[in-house]
């Protein structure tokens, strides 16, 4: 039975709980406990499956992801999760851990405000007045270490519009209209303001860019001054802003607009308004990627819990037919 624990440790950094279960099941086939009680009290497979059974009910909540994220967006809870991932701790021991960071909390406050929310979303378990992280909680703790500023960057007790937008921007920049369609018009501006304030998105100062684009008119039919030709040749078919065009030609912005007006008069150039897109900063990409991975861990855990529940149903059916069943 000792090999079971080594399998769990070997897979600590593997987010595929389903894969871990398969490894543990293989170990179970070679395990011969003397009594059913020994299996229940010592077997890591039993403990993991029991955690997954409980998580299955918890994750059935349609707002589970929102509640999970709101629990995690608290530095003291994250500190406690880190502490109980290493080993089991009492409330008194956790109180001392928190004091190391210069904060003081009563034991009742630690239990009600920090431990109970962690247990409510399946990240922690209490046994004989000691608390420890579930396998699921340990996995999330490992992931969250990659972005320790989570609690500082995102608002607590929110509807998680910020998290939704960050993950959406991983696929590429989006316009304000795109964002309004994604998280509703009344929340778009406020959400963008929050993410801009913590430097997770790159936001435009103006709402739109004005681009100058070449028309399909044949330029050989027109006569150009040297400056007009230089300006015209520097315009790409995708379009260019006046500021960038001035840099390309070496002309002042005032003269650039002067020659653009002449080119427009010859119907060789036209203006196109292109809404500016909102994109992720480096830290924004890092956080968005972590949030996406968190969702994948939740999905993997849900799938594993479904497998355990289906297995239980099968064992129950077989046990009913035979008159007895030994449930692992």
Q: What tens digit of pLDDT does each residue of 160-213 get? A: 999 999 999 999 999 999 999 999 899 999 999 999 999 999 976 665 678 899
What is the chain's mean pLDDT, rounded? 83
Per-residue pLDDT, averaged over 267-291, amounts to 92
Are the C-beta atoms of 46 and 328 separated by less than 8 Å? yes
Q: Which range has the worst mean pLDDT, 32-41, 202-211, 263-272?
A: 32-41
Helices (H) and strands (E) in the chain, counts: 18, 7
Q: pTM score, two decimals?
A: 0.71
Tell me the CATH number at 214: 1.10.10.10
Closest by alpha carbon to 251, among 272, 267, 228, 271? 228
Distances (CA, A) of 121 to 25, 29, 57, 69: 26, 31, 10, 10
> Do 36 and 92 belong to one domain?
yes
Q: Flag whether pLDDT at 119 surpasses 90.
A: yes
> Do 106 and 237 belong to one domain?
no
What integer pLDDT is reported at residue 279 of this predicted model? Answer: 94
Helices (H), 30-63: 36-42, 44-59
**Count: domains in the chain:** 2
> Do 300 and 253 belong to one domain?
no
> Do 315 and 215 belong to one domain?
no
Where residue 113 falls (left for φ over 0; alpha for ψ -120 to 50; beta otherwise) is: alpha
> What is the distance between the terminal CA atoms of the chain, rounded to a whole angstrom?
14
What integer pLDDT is reported at residue 209 of this predicted model? Answer: 75
> Do 311 and 246 belong to one domain?
no
Q: Higher pLDDT residue, 216 or 207? A: 216
Torsion of CA 27, 33, 36, 41, to 10 degrees: -70
> Do 310 and 254 belong to one domain?
no
Q: How confident is the model at residue 116 (pLDDT cuts 50, 70, 90)?
A: very high
What integer pLDDT is reported at residue 316 of this predicted model? Answer: 44
> Do 270 and 305 belong to one domain?
no
> Do 118 and 15 belong to one domain?
yes
What integer pLDDT is reported at residue 274 of this predicted model? Answer: 78
> Do 146 and 75 belong to one domain?
yes
Domain range holding 233? Answer: 208-275
What integer pLDDT is reported at residue 12 of this predicted model? Answer: 43
Per-residue pLDDT, averaged over 137-166, amounts to 94
What integer pLDDT is reported at residue 15 of this predicted model? Answer: 43
- pLDDT tens digits, one per residue of 229-260: 999 999 987 888 898 999 999 999 999 999 99
């Amino acid at each position: 039975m000792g090999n079971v624990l080594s399998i769990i440790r070997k897979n600590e950094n593997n987010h595929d709980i389903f894969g871990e279960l398969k490894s543990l099941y293989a170990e179970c086939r070679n395990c011969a406990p003397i009594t059913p009680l020994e299996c229940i009290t010592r077997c890591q497979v039993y403990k993991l499956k029991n955690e997954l059974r409980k998580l299955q009910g918890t994750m059935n909540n349609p707002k589970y992801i929102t509640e999970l994220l709101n629990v995690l967006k608290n530095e003291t809870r994250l500190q406690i999760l880190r502490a109980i991932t290493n080993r089991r701790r009492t409330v008194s021991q956790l109180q001392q851990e928190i004091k190391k960071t210069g904060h003081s909390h009563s034991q009742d406050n630690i239990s009600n405000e920090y431990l109970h929310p962690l247990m409510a979303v399946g990240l922690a378990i209490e046994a004989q007045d000691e608390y420890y992280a579930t396998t699921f909680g340990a996995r999330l703790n490992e992931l969250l270490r990659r972005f320790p500023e989570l609690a500082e960057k995102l608002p607590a007790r929110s509807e998680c519009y910020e998290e939704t937008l960050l993950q959406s921007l991983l696929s590429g920049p989006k316009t304000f209209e795109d964002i309004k369609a994604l998280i509703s018009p009344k929340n778009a501006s406020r959400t963008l303001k929050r993410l801009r304030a913590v430097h997770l998105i790159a936001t435009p100062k103006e709402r739109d860019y004005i681009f100058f684009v070449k028309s399909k008119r044949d330029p050989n039919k027109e006569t150009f001054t040297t400056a007009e030709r230089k300006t015209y040749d520097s315009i790409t078919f995708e379009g260019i802003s006046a500021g960038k065009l001035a840099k390309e030609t070496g002309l002042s912005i005032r003269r650039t607009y002067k020659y653009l007006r002449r080119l427009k008069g010859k119907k060789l150039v036209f203006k196109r308004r292109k809404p500016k897109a909102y994109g992720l900063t480096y830290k924004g990409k890092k956080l968005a990627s972590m949030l996406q991975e968190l969702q994948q861990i939740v999905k993997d855990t849900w799938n594993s819990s479904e497998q355990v529940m289906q297995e239980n149903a099968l064992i129950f059916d077989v046990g009913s037919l035979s008159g007895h069943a030994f449930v692992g």
